[in-house]
Amino acid sequence: MTGELSPIDKAKFVAAKRAAEFVEDGMRVGLGTGSTAAWLVRCLGEMVREDGLKIRGVPTSSRTAELARDVGIDVISLDEARWLDLTIDGADEFDADLSLIKGGGGALLQEKIVATASDQMIVIADAAKEVGHLGSFPLPVEVIPFGWQTSQALIEETLVSMDVMGRKTTLRMNGDRAFVTDEGNFILDLHLGRIGNARQLAMVVNQIPGVVENGLFIDICDQVVIGYGDGRVEVRDINAGTVSEDRLDFVEEENLFSDLGD
């Protein structure tokens, strides 16, 4: 329940709660992956159950699909939806231009496909995710398993000429084995420290053989909803150039919080 949430979870919850207000009856909605996006799915599920909201959700991972079905959201594939009205997802980092690093949860490929197949993308995040320059969070790069070490070497060689602080790369692990994405690929995490030119880096990395996609989301996000632990919510619209602030009261919502661990 909300009274038992940590400040960071309260921030995630109020951001998700506020973003859910953008969802309207009949929409086809992309559902993100990660802890903040999970709050959004729960909020939408409550609206479906309690308010009769009728939406179709396109999940960006098998984990999100399972949660969405559990809370009563009608789940369809992107091929069935063809195009989406809105995608709401979290981010590992965002900057003043609403450029993002995503992929900490390992779903960056589906997340980017779904986000770019939408009329609008809204990012929900706690205030700690805002940075002056992208790069403190390791940049995920999805690569095919075949020849992944060659792809890694080519990436490291390419980083020498890029405007970044660090060039260390690591294979993401799941215990003693390589982490495997929903598409059966591996993820290389690039520990760059600071990215000087995110647009250039994204384009160059994607040209390397074996690379499927990278976690830089450039010119994709339209709005960011930032939550704070005291209930404040800030909404920034990059297209309209507007910033608005609100405050959400915490209430006990048994249907939303019971039996739904992150």
Of 90, 93, 85, 26, nearest to 60 (Cα)? 90
Domain 2-129+219-257: CATH class, spelled out? alpha beta
**Phi (first) and psi of residue 168, to 5 degrees:** -75, 135
Q: Which residues contact 131 (CB under 8 A, 6 or more apart)?
A: 93, 94, 95
> CA distances (Å), 108 to each of 55, 116, 117, 181, in order?
23, 12, 14, 9
Binding site residue list: 33-36, 89-92, 102-105, 129
Looking at residue 255, what is its pLDDT? 53
pLDDT in tens, 140-180: 999 999 999 999 999 999 999 999 999 999 999 999 999 99
DSSP-derived pairing of the beta strands 173-174 and 177-178: antiparallel
Residues of the chain with pLDDT under 50: 1-2, 259-262
Which sequence spans correspond to the domains of the chain? 2-129+219-257, 139-214
Binding site residue list for substrate: 33-36, 89-92, 102-105, 129
pTM: 0.93
Query: Is the distance from CB of 189 to CB of 143 less than 8 angstroms?
Result: no
Looking at residue 261, what is its pLDDT? 41
Exposed (0-12), middle (13-18) or buried (19+): which is 174, by Cβ within 10 Å?
Answer: exposed
Looking at residue 106, what is its pLDDT? 97
Long-range contacts of the stretch 152-157 (C-beta < 8 A, 24+): 152/188, 154/208, 154/209, 154/210, 155/188, 155/190, 155/205, 155/208, 155/211
Looking at residue 257, what is its pLDDT? 53
Catalytic, out of 21, 46, 66, 111: 111
Looking at residue 103, what is its pLDDT? 98
Judge whether 213 counts as a catalytic residue. no
Q: Are 2-129+219-257 and 139-214 in the same CATH fold?
A: no
Domain 139-214: CATH class, spelled out? alpha beta
**Phi (first) and psi of residue 171, to 5 degrees:** -80, 125
Looking at residue 69, what is its pLDDT? 98
